[in-house]
Amino acid sequence: MKEKGLLVVISGPSGAGKGTICKALLEKNDFWLSVSATTRSPRVGEVDGVNYYFLSKEEFQNRIKNEGFLEYAEVYGNYYGTPKDSVLSAIDSGKDVVLEIDIQGALKVKETYPEGVFIFILPPSMKELRQRIINRGSETEESLMTRFKAAYKEINYVSKYNYAVVNDTVEEALKKIEGIVIAERCRVDRVKENILDSKEGIIHEQLYD
C-alpha cells in the first residue's frame, strides 16, 4: 500500500522569514509546491500554472461554491486561494506538499485538513523581527508599527500549530523542518494502518515459507 504524502504548512508572522525558508527547503528536498489561484491580473513575466493559476472572478467564486479551495481570502478586492484537488491528489500519490501561507490561511487549512503538519516560523527575537520589517523598506513609521504590532499579536497563534521553529539561521531552521518531516513519516498515527492492517505489511507475512 502506497503511503500518503504529508501536507507541510509553513506559516508565521510576516517578517519571520517563512519565504526564505520555503525556498531553501524546496531547493534541497523533493517537495511539491502548491500553486495558488488568484483573480488578480498576471504581472509581466508571470506564467499561468507556474506563478499562479489566473482565474476570472466568476471561475473563482464557482470554485468557492464547490468547496474547491483548502483556504481562500479576499485581499484588496482580489481573491487568493489554495486549490484543493491538486494538493490532495499530490498527497494521495505519495508526494509531500509544501504550503507557504499566512496565519489566517493556515488556520483555515487546519480546519479542512487537520492531519497536515503545521509549522510556525518564529523570528529569533522581536528586535530582529522589527529589523527585518524595516529592512524590507518602503514602510512609513506608522505602517511599520502597524505591521509590527500585528506580528507581535500573531505570535499567540503558535498554540494552534504542531511545531514552532525559531528562524535563527536558515540552515538551522531547515535542519529542524527536515527533522520534523522525517519524524512525521514515522508517527504511529500515520503508519499504524500500514503496519497492522495491510496484507503487504510485515505482520501478515507467512512465518515459514
Annotated binding site for ATP: 12-19
**What is the number of other CB atoms lying within 10 angstroms of the CB of residue 103?**
22
CB of 97 to its own copies, least distance (A): 18
Give which of 16, 7, 61 is closest to 158, Cα–Cα.
16
Phi, psi (rounded to 5 degrees) for 119: -115, 125
For residue 32, the surrounding DSSP H or E stretch is: strand 32-33
Measured from the CB atom, the residue of 50 and 207 that comes closer to its own copies is: 207
List residues near its own copies by CB under 8 A: 119-120, 122-127, 130, 148, 152, 155-156, 158-159, 161-165, 175-176, 178-188, 191-192, 195-196, 202-203, 205, 207, 209
* Binding-site entries: 12-19
CB of 190 to its own copies, least distance (A): 9
The angle that helices 18-28 and 170-186 make with each other, rounded to 10 degrees, is 60
CB of 159 to its own copies, least distance (A): 5
Measured from the CB atom, the residue of 132 and 185 that comes closer to its own copies is: 185
Measured from the CB atom, the residue of 22 and 37 that comes closer to its own copies is: 22
Q: How far apart are CA 10 and CA 42, in angstroms?
A: 25
CB of 28 to its own copies, least distance (A): 15
For residue 9, what is its C-alpha cell?
A: 504548512
